[in-house]
Amino acid sequence: MTQRVPFFERFRRFWRRHRTLFWTVHSLWALATGVFVVVLAHERYGFAPWVLGFLGVTWLSTMFFARRPAGPAELDTPAEAPPLGEEVTSYVTRTLYQETLFFLLPFYAYSTVLSSPNVVFLGGLGVLALGSCLDLPFDRLLRTSVVFGMVFFATVAYAAVNLILPMVTGIDPEVASPVAAVAAVASALPLALRGAHGMKDRLRLAVASAAILFGGFALTRFVPPAPLRLESGTFAAAIDRETLALADTLWDGVDSADLTGPVIVLVEVFAPANVPTTVTLEWRHDGTLFRTTGEVEIVAHEGGFRVWDSWRPEAEHAPAGEYEVTLKTGKGRVFGVATLQVDPSPPRSPSGS
């Protein structure tokens, strides 16, 4: 008489046979849902504070359910795949962090200037978000490298806290960045220590923690000053100092001979809440810096703020070329660039011709 195989055992065997196919199909699904989350997050700052609570629940569930990962020698073959329960736990946790990454991407993209160093942070978030869709290799990295797992979880936590803290507490983004780094290490380190094997892993985690803290305190210029972002930058020949209304707006292609008076730039910055910050404006002509304003302390009311500056050419008129005004925070974090192309004056016809 043939012994009946229990349902769970049959399902486990089925899973082992088709595990690679399932995760390959799911990787495509994860990418599709990630794109949906990016679209959902567009301009929805009201959802952003919920991310912290979402991450808190994820962290608690991970601490409670996560098992000690296997050693570095483990391979992702059907015969040596992790237990089904552990794999489900890993999948749920990874999905929660993955969708959080996709949700945060648009908000950092709004504050990123592609020609500035802060594109590095946005690129890193994008790589992690896309990489997390590759289920098999990404899960293997998380299970076999405690350092990679810590960096991944810390990056998600840092990005969330760094964005949301200025919105809910009203502190300067320059202050939020180091606080976010401390919070990221404090939340990711306990998770990583659960999978550490011996003193060598603990030493690596200590080095990774120090690197994250150093970056959060000293390398903030590589991080966009979210949630602040440049809405517009407009050049003009005159401005009402009380209402900041512009007159004689200047557009690309303006004739150099027409710029005999001051050149004024007005930048409008969006902020979803009352966010204090310090800003400076840098003027460049064909890439050469020729003017830097002093630091201006501003409390960005909900909806944003406006800053303006003026420059008067020393010569008879402004030289032709590209004028670029860069908006920076007090610590040098770029979050906006306004440009004006000035064309050379056409040669004058000889008199009497």
Which of 338, 220, 219 is closest to 282 using CA atoms? 338
Residue 50: predicted pLDDT: 74
Domains identified in the chain and CATH numbers:
7-222 (no CATH), 229-343 (2.60.40.1930)
Low pLDDT (below 50) residues in the chain: 1, 67-79, 352-353
Do strands 321-329 and 275-285 pair parallel, antiparallel, or not at all (unpaired)? antiparallel
Give this prediction's pTM.
Answer: 0.81
Residue 273: predicted pLDDT: 83
Residue 115: predicted pLDDT: 86
Residue 89: predicted pLDDT: 65
| b/e per residue 42-58 (b: at least 16 CB within 10 A) | eeebeebbebbebbeeb
Residue 146: predicted pLDDT: 86
CB 269 within 8 A of CB 300: yes
| b/e per residue 62-90 (b: at least 16 CB within 10 A) | beeeeeebbeeeeebeeeebbeeebbebb
Which two structure tokens, joined as six digits, stand for 346?
A: 């056409």
Which of 104, 111, 101, 103 is closest to 224 using CA atoms? 111
In three-state secondary structure terms, 48 is coil
Residue 10: predicted pLDDT: 67
Residue 353: predicted pLDDT: 45
